[in-house]
Structure 1
Amino acid sequence: MRHALSLAALLALPGTQATAQTPGEPWPDGAANRPEVTPAFAAQTRAPAQVTNPAPALSMVSDGLDSPWAIEVLPDDAGYLVTERGGDLHHISRDGRVSAPFTGVPEVVAERQGGLLDLALAPDFSDSRVIYLTFAAPTGGGQSATAAVSATLSPDMTRLDDVTEIFRQTPPDATPGHFGSRVVPLPDGTLVITTGDRMRHAARAQDRATSYGAVIRVGPDGSPPPDNPFLEVAGALPELYSHGHRNLQGAAVDPATGRLWTLEHGPAGGDELNLIVPGGNYGWPVASYGVNYNGSEIGDGRADHAPDFTAPRYYWDPVIAPGGMVFYDGAMFPDWQGDILAAGLIAQAVVRLDLDGDVVAGEERLAEGVGRVRDIAIDDDGSILFVTDEGGASRLMRLSR
């Protein structure tokens, strides 16, 4: 079920459009929401546009998915796992065949931004077959909470066994949005889980007694590690790792350094790429490079994070609406080694960030206009897989040489 897309076919896809860009100038995204803001340092936003030539080839692996949220590559050419926000987990073979939904998946609140969300393989998956899932969990009274479970994938890839909850956001809330929800294994054997501020309660992102707008760090069994930064802080949740975030929907570990980076949605302007420091406070909703959707200021209008908060390493204004992210470490595109590939929902592209240490040296939009890109993975051959979030017409796509 793999179909190559010509340029003409790509341009025929809903919402597809070509955007002119000039290498060396920033990508032409349109007018900023806060044009008066001075970045904290020269490379913090609007990096020079880069253009890969020849452009990667775009092909379709599978179509007919329904609002997919996450993709993972299985080892040994066993295909892919994909979550759908409505509550289904599927196996997709390398030739694009989509399995029936797995059984044993936890009950989810599939409302607005809620549902079955992220997916990650345990580092020892080849032996243990353990995976991790995040989702909007029902908590009663019309409320829900970001939750994470571990589970064992059956050998025939039809069901989940041994489903065990390892995290639940506190307190629950009735607003069906800003769940965050990436789950990432760290090199030390622990896990991080990202959460959002649940939209109506932005101030809770500054409250260390809640897991709103936070990076959470737990062991595989859900217990807080003994070196967590807030473990001995009175009133703070022991699983808290960083806070002051808005809606963290991207997270990945740089394989070269072992450091955790995240992507979070800003309001109108102010999407952020952050390098996570244990115990860091990232400023939301006190400091932001964006404004409210009605144009009013966030808080007292403060953009500068210093000296109270950790500033993002990069931000977008206007936004790309980031989804998942990966660090590229494949063989197919050697010039991209160490670069970040980020999903862009509003950008409708795979956004490549040329990373030079902690600095974004350039930005490129790949497959621009393909649709709302929700998550990204690197296949074994180094090609880039991504899912689009277009309701029942969503697709699993590939970029390759």
Structure 2
Amino acid sequence: MRSSASTARFALLLAGTLLGGAAMAQDTNSQGERLPHVDGNAPATGTQASTGTPVETEAANVPSQEPAFANQTRAPQPAAQPEIRRETVAEGLPNGWAMEFLPDNRILFGAKGGQMMILPAVGQEGEPIEVSGVPEVASAGQGGLLDIALGPNFAEDGMIYYTFAEPRGGEGNGTSLGRAKLIMADAGARLENAEVIFQQMPTYDGDKHFGSRIVFDRDGMLFLGVGERSDTPIRDQAQDLGSGLGKVFRLNADGSVPQDNPFVGRDGAQAAIWSYGHRNIQSATLGPDGRVWTIEHGARGGDELNRPEAGKNYGWPVITYGEDYSGKPIGQGITAQEGMEQPIYYWDPVIGPSGMAIYAGDEFPEWRDAILAGGLVTQGLVVLRMDQEGRVASEERVPLDARIRDVKVGPDGAVYAMTEVRNGGGSTILRLTKAD
């Protein structure tokens, strides 16, 4: 594995001031137009529109499509929005896909190309530590090393879980779930007893829509969201219970199937399936109510927020908001059908979701229990505040002028956003705090 740790540079934070920060490289928007970045010391101010005005002002791709209920899309902005300061805490990283805070506040970082490393804790100097023993990944297109999660008993057993686009010989590839013991020492780090404990099947020879995100619930059950591999007609298998494409799976921590899963014992169904009819899940987290939340990519419009429930069908590609990339309707162009679930929220045009967290900290009391999602297309942080019924009450956006691949709430209550520049341009980790 090519070492990239030596290329990373780390800024030291003292008394809220960034030392050694530098302007970031330029990125492109979804149309390939150049977008300048702001210097790492600059504040990133939330959009300041009056309450009741939606943050999204662009025309929908399919303006004739109507939401099924109030605030299912284009929810109003909240009256009060915090002004936000951003600081660069790590730069010069390879293109990342996921990060996790370790118990000692260091950051476990995973790169799309198959690298894994341990970064110093924020506020500490040091070089990243390369982690050896990472499996080979299929990194073409949207493939690579994908999500990383600490096991529910990490402090005792050191187990981590990861998803990756697994090369499967001449047959193609697929999203696979691995686990290993993370051994950390001053001289280096390694994955010990790495094993694949679950494979998305069928294998497919493609390079798109692998998903994926990992979430452990309070009972230690593992939820895994994956994509439907994009192409027509294979994407139709999102509706097929005999296929593992376009699904949320629920597993025991060892990769076995819980016997109370909704399709256990059903002829022809994959017993690991929890919910189906999903497109490409690239955001997932555990809510304050202990339930799993996901956001999946739509096509031209149709990014959607869901709270997947056991045995339910979320519609793709039979129902969806938005349209195909060709500009034609997807399927019959319908947005509702009996027996299929409506998204809790959707975006048209898309935000390009990736990375997701529920805010729990003291830095932003106005965001308590809010959903924080990274925007690849909107190039910033999307904040959804929820009402008592579990629906979206407001949406605000924090512009960061960069594609945001992952979002985490740090042990200090700050929000950490991982940026990416396409085509190997690298990643930066930003720390967001209140400007005052």
> Shorter-chain-normalised TM-score: which range?
over 0.9
Structure 2 residue 31 is matched with structure 1 residue 2: no
Q: Is the 8 A contact 1:26 1:46 kept in 2?
A: yes
**1:67 to partner: Cα distance:** 1.2
Q: 2:214 aligns with which of 175, 180, 183?
A: 183
Is 2:183–2:191's contact at 8 Å kept on the other side of the alignment? yes
Work out whether residues 61 and 96 of structure 1, in 8 Å CA contact, stay in contact via their aligned partners in 2: no
In the alignment, does 2:96 pair up with 1:87?
A: no
Residue pair 1:65, 1:392 contacting (<8 A) in 2 also: no
Letter in 2 for 1:117: L
Q: Distance in 1 between matches of 2:420 and 2:202?
A: 29
Pairs aligned (count): 396
The CA deviation at 1:248 is 0.5
Q: Give, in angstroms, the shift of residue 10 of structure 1.
A: 7.2
Deviations 1:375-401 (A, max 9, x none): 111111110111112133320111013
Secondary structure, in 3 states, of the residue corresponding to 1:335?
helix
Structure-2 residue corresponding to 1:34: 62
Q: 1:374 to 1:52 in 2, by over 3 A?
A: farther
Deviation at 1:100, TM superposition (A): 4.3
Give matches, 1:2-401, under 5 Å.
2=11, 14=27, 15=35, 16=37, 22-23=49-50, 24-50=52-78, 53-77=81-105, 79-94=106-121, 95=124, 97-141=126-170, 143-156=172-185, 158-200=189-231, 201-255=234-288, 257-304=289-336, 306-357=337-388, 358-366=390-398, 368-390=399-421, 391-401=424-434
SS in 2 for 1:364: strand
Q: Distance in 1 between matches of 2:244 and 2:111?
A: 24
Cα shift at 1:315: 0.2
8 Å Cα contact 1:242/1:281 also seen in 2? yes
**Deviation above 3 Å: which 4+ runs of structure 1?**
3-6, 9-14, 16-21, 50-54, 95-98
Contact 2:46 2:84 in 1 (8 A): no
Tell whether the 8 Å contact from 1:51 to 1:364 is kept in structure 2 after alignment: no
* Cα shift at 1:12: 8.5
Compared CA separation, residues 68 and 96, structure 1 to 2 (3 A): farther
Report the 3-state secondary structure (helix = DSSP H, G, I; strand = E; otherwise coil) of the residue aligned with 2:131: coil
- Say which SS state the counterpart of residue 203 (structure 1) adopts: helix
SS in 2 for 1:205: helix
Q: Kindly report the root-mean-square deviation, in angstroms, between the aligned alpha carbons of the 2 structures.
A: 2.1
The SS at the match of 2:142 is coil
Superposed displacement of residue 180, structure 1: 0.8
Provide the residue aligned with 2:42 in structure 1: none
Query: What is the CA–CA distance in structure 2 between the aligned matches of 1:19 and 1:295, rounded to whole Å?
Result: 32
Q: Is there any run of 5+ residues in structure 1 with no aligned partner, and where? A: none
Deviation digits for residues 17-56 of structure 1 (CA, Å, limit 9, x no counterpart): 8896523211134110011111110110001123755412
Q: Distance in 1 between matches of 2:207 and 2:252?
A: 27
SS of 1:154's partner is strand
CA contact (8 A) 2:47 2:397 kept: no
Correspondence for 2:3: none
Which stretches in structure 2 are left out of the alignment for 5+ residues? 1-9, 28-34, 39-44
User: Shift in Å at residue 334 of structure 1?
Assistant: 1.5
- Whole-Å Cα distance in 1 between the matches of residues 425 and 192 of structure 2? 28
The question of whether the paired residues in 1 share the 8 Å contact of 2:100 and 2:109 is answered with: yes
SS for the counterpart of 2:83 is coil
Instruction: Identify if the C-alpha distance between structure 1 residues 98 and 279 changes in structure 2 by more than 3 Å, giving closer, same or farther.
Output: farther
Provide the secondary structure at the position in 2 that maps to 1:102. strand
Q: TM-score scaled by structure 2?
A: 0.87
- The letter of the residue matching 2:93 is L
> Conserved in 2, the CA contact under 8 Å of 1:352 and 1:365?
yes
Structure 1 length-normalised TM: 0.94
